[in-house]
Chains A and B, each alone.
Chain A
């Protein structure tokens, strides 16, 4: 058995923060993804341009750079602007948890956009037309007919985004979030047993992945109910 020298708690506490940030970022990514996909598929050229710029920039810039830009860059920018406006020295603080969640949400929203775009394209146009033909309003058609089917096509891709996202939380240590990787590092350095603690952390990430896969499998089975497998 591995001896963690009294530092077992780092895995527990680290995993808690990791999961919290990851789970909080998911709704942000989903909403941005739906909006982005709508923008890309909409006839409106402005919406399409905005969505295009968003996914290009975010998917093109490394996550770590974006995190540093949002957490430190935006803070410094706000401070400079307020200094200009008020003349006084002002301290603006973005809480690391909020900054981390938003940044991850914005980054993975771009990947989610592409997942949803693919799912919308996979859906037969006839579905919308049929729903409209029997008198459903646009929102009702979206809610009852489009979304449940898009969801089914999107789920495998979304699961993939989630698995990448949960590992990207390890980058959050640069903004003072004591997530799993950072805590493992702290303990590893304190007792000089890097392999023991990194191995422990990798097992925890693996466990998170295994549980996620189970949940995703069930969600897919549920989304596919009523569909005959070819």
Chain B
């Protein structure tokens, strides 16, 4: 094994262990002018947060978190944490904020507070390249659309495209497989799931996104936010202000363009 990799990995292990380790007792009043903020993330949800083959944290969440820390004038440090313990870790103060593609849901709101959303990936249709469908409620009349059952996407299709023939599948992969074999004309799902799980793979090479991105708050939810311990409004407000700042100054756009060729922020409220 080459040493660079070993060093990077050791670094990662030390980040994970040492960040939580050292401190012992520390009051939350920080010394110096920059506030020290620890960010918890999962490191296993590409392309949002993952660990690359050099052992470094990479991804959309990571770049956004770094940009937010710059905008808020925080000194930030990442703690890598398995998803199962990510909220308990926040509550036990192993870190101060979770930036890990966490959807804002009512259940989670009972135990943590959320900032405003920092992304909301739209739902999209995928069809064979050059199929030329007219993506409208009437244009899709009689067309067969594959979708994963019991998802927000199925609800959305039945509500907004009532004339299309909806065929439901247990997993998105099965729907994609039937699109390849021609049993369905289109599939609908989360755009990132489709991009990474299908379009970028070999079976998906002859297919493309068609039509616009869809985001209906009533059906698709509120998006993805940063989780903060309940009652820490200072930090939450600071992150909200930072999100507005990077949205306004073009930083967000740059990071968006690095990972996706469409707008992941979703509708502005």
Interface residues, chain A, with chain B CB atoms under 8 Å away: 5-10, 12-13, 17, 68, 71-72, 75-76, 79, 88-98, 173-178, 182, 185-187, 189-190, 192
Top 4 nearest A-B pairs (CB, nearest first) are: A6-B53, A95-B21, A174-B85, A189-B44
CA gap between A75 and B95 in the complex, in Å: 13
Ordered by A's residue number, 16 sampled pairs between the chains whose C-beta atoms are within 8 Å are A12-B1, A75-B94, A76-B92, A79-B93, A91-B23, A92-B25, A95-B21, A173-B82, A174-B85, A175-B85, A178-B12, A178-B80, A186-B51, A190-B44, A190-B46, A190-B50
B91 x A9 contact (CB < 8 A): no
Point out the residue from A13, A17, A176, A187 that lies within 8 Å of B79, measured CB to CB.
Answer: A176
Q: Which B residues are within 8 Å of any A CB, using their own CB?
A: 1, 5-6, 9-10, 12-13, 16-17, 20-28, 43-46, 50-53, 55, 79-82, 84-85, 88-89, 91-94
Q: Is the interface of A mostly helix, strand, loop or mixed?
A: helix
Q: In the complex the two chains form, what is the Cα distance from A195 to B25 in whole Å?
A: 42
Q: Which residues of A contact B43 (CB under 8 A)?
A: 186
- The answer for the CA separation of A72 and B20 in the assembled complex, in Å, is 12
Contacts of B25 in A (CB 8 A): 90-93
Contacts of A177 in B (CB 8 A): 16-17
Q: Quick one: closest A residue to B58, CB to CB?
A: A190
A219 to B16, CA, bound (A): 36
Partner of A96, one of B1, B17, B53: B17
Given A93-B93, A176-B79, 17 extra CB contacts under 8 A:
A7-B53, A9-B5, A9-B9, A12-B1, A17-B13, A71-B92, A72-B85, A75-B92, A75-B94, A91-B23, A91-B25, A91-B93, A95-B21, A173-B84, A178-B16, A185-B44, A190-B51
Task: Give the docked Cα–Cα distance between A86 and B4 (Å).
Answer: 46
Q: Determine the distance from Cα of A131 to Cα of B197 in the docked complex, in whole angstroms.
A: 72
Measured between alpha carbons, how far is A190 from B52 in the docked complex, in Å? 7
Q: Tell me whether B20 and A176 are in contact (CB under 8 A).
A: yes
Contact between chains at B1 and A9 (CB < 8 Å): yes
- Complex Cα spacing A93 to B27, Å: 11
Q: Are B91 and A72 neighbours in the complex by a CB distance under 8 Å?
A: yes
Rounded to whole Å, the gap between the CB of A155 and the closest CB of chain B is 33
A9 touches B55 (CB 8 A): yes
